Amino acid sequence: MKRRTSSFNTKRIDHIFNEEGFYLHYGDITDSANLIKLVHDVQPDEIYNLAAQSHVAVSFDMPEYTANCD
Provide the pLDDT for residue 39. 93
- Amino acid letter, 5: T
Using 50 as the pLDDT threshold, list the residues of the chain that sit under it.
none
- Alpha carbons 27 and 5: distance in angstroms, whole number: 11
The pTM of this model reads 0.64
Provide the pLDDT for residue 6. 67
